[in-house]
Amino acid sequence: MLDELKEKHIPILYNELQNLSDEDNAFFHPHLFDKKTLESLLKDNEKYYIFYYEGELIGYCFIRTFGKFEIPTLGCIIWGRYREKGYGEILMKELEEETKKLGFKSLMLKVYNKNKIGIKLYKKCGFKKISKEGIRIWMIKHL
Ligand SMILES: CC(C)(COP(=O)(O)OP(=O)(O)OC[C@H]1O[C@@H](n2cnc3c(N)ncnc32)[C@H](O)[C@@H]1OP(=O)(O)O)[C@@H](O)C(=O)NCCC(=O)NCCS
């Protein structure tokens, strides 16, 4: 289940984001992880979600248009201890449904070409590579 980010989630999200591995920090840096920045997300015009499954807080994700793009960009992370259990795929399906509900017809993402697990997940979920930007690749899925 995706729950839109609320004030009550900030302490726990902050805590999880402070404890990411070096590799996670290298692959996932959508915004700063300090408390002030997290608080500011509650007021901006993008969509941020906490991902729950059977009552447990499993990860964090978002879709953003940066106030101008027609196709939103997703970002996601599953907390380390919950990985390799299929949650990434569940999160992606829920994020796609949410994107459709918001009225968008496609979803994009940018992933480091060294992030083999991320790329594997996205390909499995039907995303296709469309272009390269330095050491990252852009992928898209028409919903
Ligand atoms: C990418 C990420 C979201 C995947 O989450 P997850 O819950 O482990 O994903 P799933 O369990 O649904 O697995 C998806 C696929 O990746 C594979 N996979 C996951 N972890 C793996 C690992 N350590 N080694 C090899 N394959 C792995 C799974 O086996 C599965 O493929 P399969 O069904 O063919 O077996 C997670 O690794 C993560 O949060 N990484 C750090 C943040 C990040 O890179 N986010 C993306 C930024 S663009």
Q: Which domains does the chain have, with CATH numbers?
A: 2-142 (3.40.630.30)
Does 12 contact ligand 1 (Cβ within 6 A)? Answer: no
Does 117 contact ligand 1 (Cβ within 6 A)? Answer: yes
- pLDDT band at residue 140, thresholds of 50, 70 and 90? very high
CA-nearest residue for atom 14, ligand 1, is: 121
Q: What pLDDT was estimated at residue 14? A: 98
- Tell me the CA–centroid distance for residue 43 and ligand 1, in Å: 30
pLDDT at 7 over 90: yes
Contact 17, 33 (CB under 8 A): yes
Tens of pLDDT, residue by residue over 39-76, are 999 999 999 999 999 999 999 999 999 888 899 999 99
C-alpha pair distances (Å), 124 with each of 20, 50, 58, 75: 24, 22, 20, 16
Atom of ligand 1 nearest to the CA of 89: 12
Cα–Cα distance between 61 and 1 in angstroms, integer?
11
Q: What pLDDT was estimated at residue 68? A: 87
C-alpha pair distances (Å), 126 with each of 10, 72, 89, 111, 143: 31, 16, 11, 15, 10
pTM for this model (two decimals) = 0.96
Does 115 contact ligand 1 (Cβ within 6 A)? Answer: yes
Q: What is the DSSP string of 29-69?
A: -SS--SHHHHHHHTTSSSEEEEEEETTEEEEEEEEE-TTT-
Tens of pLDDT, residue by residue over 82-123, are 999 999 999 999 999 999 999 999 999 999 999 999 999 999
Q: b or e along 128-137 (b: 16 or more beta carbons within 10 Å of the residue's beta carbon)?
A: eeeeeeeeeb
